[in-house]
Amino acid sequence: MSELLKNYVAGAWVAGQGSGTPLVDPISGDELVRVSSVGLDLPAAFAYAREQGGGGLRAMGYAQRAERLAATAKLLQANRDAYYEIATANSGTVKNDSAVDIDGAIYTIGQYARWGAALGSENALLDGSRVGLAKDNAFVSQHVLVPTRGVALFINAFNFPSWGLWEKAAPALLSGVPVIAKPATATAWLTQRMVADVVAAGIWPEGALSLICGGSAGLLDALNSTDVLSFTGSAETAAIIRGHRAVTQRSVRVNIEADSLNSAILMPDAAPGSEAFDLLVKEVVREMTVKSGQKCTAIRRVFVQETAFDAALEAIAARLGKTTVGNPRNETVRMGALVNREQHASVLAGIEMLAQDARIVLDGRQATLIDADPAIAACVGPTLLASLDAAAAHRVHEHEVFGPVATVLAYRSVVDAGELVGRGGGSLVASLYGADAQSLADMALSLGDRHGRIHVISPEVAAVQSGHGNVMPQSLHGGPGRAGGGEELGGLRALGFYHRRAAIQAGPAVLDRLPTLSSHG
Ligand code: NAP
C-alpha cells in the first residue's frame, strides 16, 4: 500500500485513521499516495490555530508578515522541481500547465509580499477618510478594518492544488489570519508537500498554517463566528455550505467561487482574416487546451456573428486538430490528462449532453493518445461543438463541461450577443476581440454586472495581454450568480475579507491618537 500522507494540525503531523483514500496517476491509474482525515480532533485543531497561530501572526504587523510571504515565495521557488514532478504524476499536466498552478502561486505570493511591505507595522487599516457628523467636524466617523481573530478555512477544488491554496493564503496571512487548508482529495499531494516544506522551514509562527487532507466531515462544525470560510468547487457543494448552520446561525463569512460558463465574443468589426479574429481563434484554442480545459475561467462559449460563423469554426477546429494528447512525460504531448477517470466520465457525459443542443465539429473522444492506454488514461481530446441557433441551445448556457470542450454560437447583433452571454447566469470572465475601441468599451461596461472580469483584446495589446483565463492578483477574481458571488484577489482589496469593518465615531482628539494606519487602497 502507498504512503499515507499526514495532516498538520495543532502544531503536529498526524496520520488520519484507516487506510485512507488513494490518489492516482491519471495516465497509468497507479496509486501514488493516500490521505485520511478520519479521527482528527478538529475542535482542538481550530482552537490551536486561532490562539497560537492568530496570536503569533498578530504579534507582527503587515510589513513583517509581508517579509514572511517573500520568504515563502523564495522557498517554494527553490523546491519547484519537486512540485512539477508531483503535478505531472497526480494531475497529469504537461510542464506549461503545471506552471499555471505552481509558478502562478509563487508569483501571487510575491505580489502580496510587495504590496504588504508598504502597509506598515500596525494591525489595522484605514477604510476611507473621516466624514463629519457634527458642525465643524467636531464629531466624525472613521471606518477602520481590523483583522478577524478567527481562522480562515479554505476548502479547495482539485484543479489548482497549488495556486488554489496560495492565492487565498497570501492575503489571509498578510492580514494576520491563520489558515487551515483542506485541498480536494484527488490532488491533495502537491498541497501537502508545499505546506510540509513551508512548515519545515519555520517561516510562520506555530499554528499559522494547518493542513487537513481527506474528507471534509466536521470541518464546518468546527467554525465559530470569528472565522471565515473560502470555498472553491462545484455549485452543488457550495449549496451545502451555504445551508450549513455555521453560515445560517453563526454568521461565518463565506466566499464562494463556483462553476462558470465563460464567454469569448468576437465583435462585429472583426471579420475573418482580421487580426482580432486571429486573436480570438488563438485564445479559444489556448483556453480549451491549457490544463485540459480544467480551469474555472476557461472559455466554454464562443460568440461570433452569423457572417463569421463558418470561418471561425474552421479556424478553431484546424488549430485544435494539431493538439497532441496523452502522457505528459512525452515531450511531443501538448495536452495531458483530466484529473481522474471520474472526471473523464463526467466530461464524456457532458459532451453527450451538449450534443443534444449543438452539433459536434471536432470530437475529442476519438483522439489518438500518445503513450497512454485509452482504456486506463483519463484523456480526452479537444472537442468543439457549434450551433447557429444560440437561443435554443439551452444546455450550452447551463451546463459546465469541465474539460477541453467549447461551443461556438452565432449571434445577430451586439445586443443579441450581450443577452446570450447573460444566459450563463453570471460568470467569472468574458473576453472581447475587436479593433474598434468605442464598441469594445461599450460592450465591456454592459457586461460588467454579470462578470467579475472583462478581458478586452485588441491588436495593440495582443503582445502584452495577460490571457483570458489567467487570474492575475491585480484584478478581481470571482463572479456573480452561478459563479458563486465571490470576490478574491484584486490587489489589497482582498484583505477586506479577512478583516472586520468598524466605524469609529469620535472627536478628533481621540481619532488623532489612533496609530498611523495605511489604507487598503
Ligand atoms: P467539489 O466536488 O465541489 O469539491 C470541492 C471541495 O469541496 C473539495 O475539497 C471537496 O473535498 C470539498 N467537499 C466536498 N463535499 C463537501 C461538503 N459536503 N462539505 C464541505 N466540503 C466538501 O468540486 P471539484 O470537483 O473539486 O471542483 C470542480 C469545480 O470547481 C468546477 O465546477 C469548477 O468550475 C470549480 N472551480 C471554480 C473555481 C473558481 O475560482 N471559481 C476555481 C477552480 C474550480 P473532497 O475532494 O475530499 O471531496
Question: pLDDT tens across 415-453, in order?
Answer: 999 999 999 999 999 999 999 999 999 999 999 999 999
pLDDT for 521: 63
Run of H or E residues at 430:
strand 427-433
**Residue that has been written with the C-alpha cell 504590496 in this structure:** 115
**Alpha carbon 356 to its chain's center:** 30
Q: How far apart are CA 371 and CA 105, in angstroms?
A: 30
The three cell numbers of residue 307 are 457572417
* Residue 8 amino acid letter: Y
- Which residues does the chain have with pLDDT short of 70? 520-521
The residue contributing the CA closest to ligand 1 atom 23 is: 233
User: What distances in angstroms separate CA 14 from CA 38, 216, 346, 401, one per listed residue?
Assistant: 10, 16, 34, 37
pLDDT (tens digit per residue) in 148-199: 999 999 999 999 999 999 999 999 999 999 999 999 999 999 999 999 999 9
With a 6 Å cutoff on the Cβ, whether 35 touches ligand 1 is no
Q: Which of 42, 153, 156, 234 to mutate to test the pocket of ligand 1 (most atoms within 8 A of CB)?
A: 234
The residue contributing the CA closest to ligand 1 atom 40 is: 257
Strands 262-266 and 427-433: parallel
With a 6 Å cutoff on the Cβ, whether 159 touches ligand 1 is yes
The three cell numbers of residue 196 are 510540509
The three cell numbers of residue 325 are 494528447
Residue 88: closest CA among 78, 100, 76, 97: 97
Residue 328: closest CA among 369, 362, 364: 369
Q: How far apart are CA 68 and CA 113, in angstroms?
A: 8
Catalytic residues: 257, 296
Q: How far apart are CA 305 and CA 302, in angstroms?
A: 10
Q: Which of 24, 38, 158 to mutate to test the pocket of ligand 1 (most atoms within 8 A of CB)?
A: 158
With a 6 Å cutoff on the Cβ, whether 298 touches ligand 1 is no
What residues are paired with 35 via a beta bridge?
5, 21
Q: Cβ(236)–Cβ(57) under 8 Å?
A: no
pLDDT for 1: 86
- Ligand 1 nearest-atom number relative to CA 296: 34
User: What distances in angstroms separate CA 370 from CA 98, 335, 336, 358, one per listed residue?
Assistant: 19, 10, 10, 29
pLDDT for 518: 75
With a 6 Å cutoff on the Cβ, whether 156 touches ligand 1 is yes
With a 6 Å cutoff on the Cβ, whether 346 touches ligand 1 is no
Q: How far apart are CA 148 and CA 69, in angstroms?
A: 19
Secondary structure string (H, E, C) spanning 259-294 = CCCEEEEECCCCCCCCHHHHHHHHHHHHHHHHHHHC
With a 6 Å cutoff on the Cβ, whether 185 touches ligand 1 is yes
Ligand 1 centroid, distance to 230 Cα (angstroms): 11
Q: How far apart are CA 170 and CA 69, in angstroms?
A: 7
pLDDT for 500: 96
With a 6 Å cutoff on the Cβ, whether 184 touches ligand 1 is yes
With a 6 Å cutoff on the Cβ, whether 216 touches ligand 1 is yes
Contacts of 460 (CB under 8 A, 6+ apart): none
**Residue that has been written with the C-alpha cell 485541498 in this structure:** 183
Q: How far apart are CA 271 and CA 441, in angstroms?
A: 19
- Ligand 1 nearest-atom number relative to CA 260: 34
Query: Which 3 state secondary structure label does DSSP give 321?
Result: coil
User: What distances in angstroms separate CA 38 from CA 244, 246, 251, one per listed residue?
Assistant: 20, 21, 27
Ligand 1 centroid, distance to 232 Cα (angstroms): 6
Ligand 1 centroid, distance to 29 Cα (angstroms): 22
Q: How many CA atoms lie within 13 A of 157 on its CB side?
A: 23
Query: Which 3 state secondary structure label does DSSP give 490?
Result: coil
